[in-house]
Amino acid sequence: MFDKILIANRGEIALRILRACKELGISTVAVHSTADADAMHVRLADESVCIGPPQSKDSYLNIPALLAACEITGADAVHPGYGFLSENARFAEILGEHNLHFIGPKAEHIRLMGDKIEAKKTAKRLGIPVVPGSDGAVTPDQDALAIAKEIGFPVLVKAAAGGGGRGMKVAHTEADLQLALTTAANEAKSAFGDASVYLEKYLQKPRHIEIQVLGDGRGGAIHLGERDCSLQRRHQKVWEEGPSPVLDAAARAKIGNTVAKAMQELKYIGVGTIEFLYEDGEFYFIEMNTRIQVEHPVTEMITGIDLVLEQIRIAAGGDLPMSQDQVVINGHSIECRVNAENPVSFRPSPGKIQQYHPPGGLGVRIDSAVYQGYVIPPYYDSLVGKLIVHGKSRVECLMRLRRALDEMVVDGIETTLPLFRALVREPAIIDGDYHIHWLEQYLAGQKTD
């Protein structure tokens, strides 16, 4: 087991990792920018190192500074959290070259899944259902048109180096296709330095359902059910829940076992999430995330598995915590990402939290690093905290979520709490009857300004 872990992240996920380390008896090193000197993970860590000025490129993305922090503290492993360097294969390799453990998958798997074309080819080879489309990159000439005609319009042009919604263009007709191809390729070239694009059948109103997996790196892998993350705004997840309101046990077992088998074949190590679009009862692979995700607590609440603790134990050579038939999905969980933003315009609202009262009670969890008097800096994402609720059923979970949202107080800054208080009372949400575009349509209908 590791002796000392450097947490190369900030905010709620840094605190989350720190908690797992403490429960494992591992000492912790917090790193922080000058803007995060008063952050909670810095106060609770055994040691802390200032690694630079507020800008992420000069601090949390500053690999030499992180290596130096490992050197002076004697850390033997680094946990990247999510975002920042968590899916940077080169960072994982550099750590290895310095005899430091990267708590995450092998660099080759990070690199493989970071290339959306290679990821899709791998998924297909491993028996995972994919969206109909081109078999690899297309060039903006005749073959693209032939493929588009074969899969049928509308089609989506996607950037190989994209992901998370970046570098996507819809083509509804032949006339749109050439423009969509050249626009997507140009944007991909400037955004990612790689103009490669591929084609897919455009699914009109799918849900976003992702499967959590855990692999031991030696051919063992289990799936831990799904999270429905369809409620998104501008590719930012807002409300995530598990299990999905539209999946039954048979559908869950079928797709879960397919994904677990694929991860066994890859000898994947650590946590991973395979993202699908789900429409008319069919799953379509779109991407794989090779990191712990923001919404991981939903899975923890319904399976009872501490995903971050298991991630660390497995990275140190440990076994999977249980076999597949011991994984039980118990009840229902919903996570709301509370942001320091205006709930209508979503304009960021950094500043000092004057009053802070997190809700409590059975089945109510707050993953947050803020406190009364904390000043939310303007340099990073606007997450105040994640309100995660569990109930024996979705109905009980919704009732508890409504109560917890009404109890929660965050004064001094604007937050998106009012949005969640409205959503939890919205008939379509109560019925679980929504898709990936539902929230933006709902917000468009609500816009007053």
CB of 104 to ligand MV4, least distance (A): 20
**Would you count residue 202 as binding ligand MV4 (CB under 6 A)?**
yes
Nearer to ligand MV4, 28 or 86 (CB): 86
CA dist 242 → 92, 332, 409 (Å): 31, 6, 26
Tokens matching residue 89: 């294969």
CB of 216 to ligand MV4, least distance (A): 27
Which residue in the list 10, 227, 291, 365 is annotated as catalytic?
Answer: 291
**Would you count residue 294 as binding ligand MV4 (CB under 6 A)?**
no
CB of 38 to ligand MV4, least distance (A): 35
Using alpha carbons only, give the angle 72, 51, 106 rounded to the nearest 5 degrees. Answer: 75
Q: Which stretch binds ligand MV4 (CB under 6 A): 202-210, 329-337, 351-359, 379-387?
A: 202-210
Selected binder of ligand MV4 within 172, 235, 352, 392 (CB under 6 A): 235
- H/E element, 32: strand 27-33
**Would you count residue 119 as binding ligand MV4 (CB under 6 A)?**
no
Catalytic, 291? Answer: yes
The residues near 69 (Cβ < 8 Å, ≥ 6 apart) are 6, 29, 31, 49, 51, 75
Selected binder of ligand MV4 within 287, 300, 310, 367 (CB under 6 A): 287
CB of 441 to ligand MV4, least distance (A): 12
Tokens matching residue 10: 């900030």
String marking each residue 124-143 x if it binds ligand MV4 according to CB under 6 A: -------x------------
Computed on alpha carbons and rounded to an integer, the radius of gyration of the chain in Å comes to 22
CA dist 185 → 155, 156, 158, 301, 401 (Å): 15, 13, 9, 41, 43
The residues near 249 (Cβ < 8 Å, ≥ 6 apart) are none
String marking each residue 18-47 x if it binds ligand MV4 according to CB under 6 A: ------------------------------
Q: Pick the closest to residue 52 from 31, 70, 25, 73 (CA basis).
A: 31
Enzyme catalytic residues: 291
Residues at the contact surface with ligand MV4, assessed by CB under 6 A = 131, 156, 164-165, 200-203, 208, 232, 235, 275, 277, 286-287, 436
